[in-house]
Copies of this chain bind each other. A is one copy, B any other.
């Protein structure tokens, strides 16, 4: 009996030891990475496969609605749909507005857009177009924040450096600020250099997600937030401490693919204090007052006179309303699918449209032929596109009606209710137009938003039609 027991114990022991060695075995470390290593090429020495793919985000492509085309210049969204020029009249987006392209272009595209070269912009723009963890921290130290760059990112000192630097850079002119950075989004922005774990580093997200946690809006797709809410709430929600790996696989993207305010009147913020739905964001903006006491708005429409809102790429918010998010499917699952390279399986760092690689992006979960999956996406997108056109027509109509009525001498006060409807309709239309999946991330929700946009737009027209000078 004693013999058998001994054998069993030994068997157990040896198997445990085997596990432990396996856990340590990772890839070959040639370079020591730390919080100061901004340059992805350095990281690439340890992780050449990920780096190669990362670099390939400079490859151009187009799908029916995605990508920027394979020409030298990104496709212009204004040329593709001239109604946008009317819709954005009086705003920088009416000058230059293109299809997004790969991550490799983000810094260059921002530096060269006419929205920057022809209009004054602040340093806030850099929040999402560059690797800026180090730049923010250095600037923060300059502004008097304690400690050095050697401190780990999750230390209180580093956090103070980051936030102080962020505030300071946001106040600079774009031209001054952009000199502080050299790389588009880099490894450091999403990874902890010590162990490659995912993390979020962008101040806007860190504050925004904490505000969302404070709100009561249900977040079934982000269970760690719901768990935090049940706790004592003494410390703010912190994704790097609280979120699961799967949640971080979306949150790292949510650092940038979100609606934001980054104009000159206040520091950049993500408007999530009431929740992630289109109405909740609208309501937060409507209650938000600028330092001068004026109600929040992005620009005054040149023809309609309305103080309107601008929506920007609310991918994270829209995804949050869809069935994939509820099912625990993350951005990285579709946009960075696993690929086998030789004997090893890694995440595809060539972030791009999943339609470029349907078999890896979709087929592990959906056992349908590639052509069928592509058709499913396109059916959803075609329906969205059609409704978006209808909403644009309604609002272009309303803008013209407001303009004519004003010219005909209808007093401003009488136009006000119709302008209010213009604001609502435009917000909803733009929310969909600025979102980059043409409805795929949340098909029914997107259609609902457009239906409301149409309704408000047409109701606005009805109001104006009834007015006499």
Contacts of A445 in B (CB 8 A): 383
Contacts of A458 in B (CB 8 A): 394, 454-455, 458-459, 461-462
CB pair B394 A455 closer than 8 Å: yes
CB pair B455 A390 closer than 8 Å: yes
- A394's nearest neighbour on chain B, judged by CB, is B455
Q: How far is the CB of A277 from chain B (nearest CB, A)?
A: 11
Contacts of A15 in B (CB 8 A): none
- The digit string for A217-241, where 1 denotes a CB below 8 A from any CB of B, is 0001000000000000000000000
- The digit string for A55-79, where 1 denotes a CB below 8 A from any CB of B, is 0000000000000000000000000
Copies in the complex: 2
CB pair B390 A452 closer than 8 Å: yes
Please give 14 more A-B residue pairs, beta carbons under 8 A apart, in addition to A450-B451, A451-B454.
A220-B375, A326-B376, A327-B368, A380-B444, A383-B445, A383-B448, A387-B451, A444-B446, A444-B447, A454-B455, A455-B458, A458-B461, A462-B462, A462-B465
CB pair A451 B368 closer than 8 Å: no
Contacts of A447 in B (CB 8 A): 444, 447-448, 451
A372: interface (CB < 8 Å): yes
Distance between Cα atoms of A107 and B326 in the complex (Å) = 42
Distance between Cα atoms of A278 and B387 in the complex (Å) = 15
| Number of interface residues, chain A, beta carbon within 8 A | 32
- A321's nearest neighbour on chain B, judged by CB, is B379
Q: How far is the CB of A217 from chain B (nearest CB, A)?
A: 13
A17: interface (CB < 8 Å): no
A323: interface (CB < 8 Å): yes
Distance between Cα atoms of A447 and B323 in the complex (Å) = 16
CB pair B452 A323 closer than 8 Å: no
A443: interface (CB < 8 Å): yes
Q: How far is the CB of A461 from chain B (nearest CB, A)?
A: 6
- The digit string for A121-137, where 1 denotes a CB below 8 A from any CB of B, is 00000000000000000
A386: interface (CB < 8 Å): yes
Contacts of A462 in B (CB 8 A): 458, 461-462, 465
Distance between Cα atoms of A452 and B368 in the complex (Å) = 31
- A459's nearest neighbour on chain B, judged by CB, is B458
Contacts of A380 in B (CB 8 A): 444
Q: How far is the CB of A369 from chain B (nearest CB, A)?
A: 11
A466: interface (CB < 8 Å): yes
Contacts of A459 in B (CB 8 A): 458
- A367's nearest neighbour on chain B, judged by CB, is B327
Distance between Cα atoms of A247 and B167 in the complex (Å) = 62
Contacts of A220 in B (CB 8 A): 372, 375
Contacts of A454 in B (CB 8 A): 451, 454-455, 458
Closest 9 pairs (CB-CB, A-B): A458-B458, A451-B451, A447-B447, A443-B444, A465-B465, A444-B444, A454-B455, A383-B448, A387-B451
Distance between Cα atoms of A465 and B459 in the complex (Å) = 12
Contacts of A452 in B (CB 8 A): 387, 390
Name which of A386, A444, A461 has the most chain B CB atoms within 10 A of its CB.
Answer: A444
Q: How far is the CB of A250 from chain B (nearest CB, A)?
A: 18
Contacts of A443 in B (CB 8 A): 443-444
Contacts of A451 in B (CB 8 A): 387, 390, 447, 450-451, 454
Contacts of A372 in B (CB 8 A): 220, 326
Q: How far is the CB of A362 from chain B (nearest CB, A)?
A: 13
- The digit string for A426-469, where 1 denotes a CB below 8 A from any CB of B, is 00000000000001000111111011101100110110011000
13 A-B residue pairs with CB within 8 Å: A220-B372, A323-B376, A387-B451, A390-B451, A390-B455, A439-B444, A443-B444, A447-B448, A447-B451, A450-B451, A451-B451, A458-B458, A458-B461
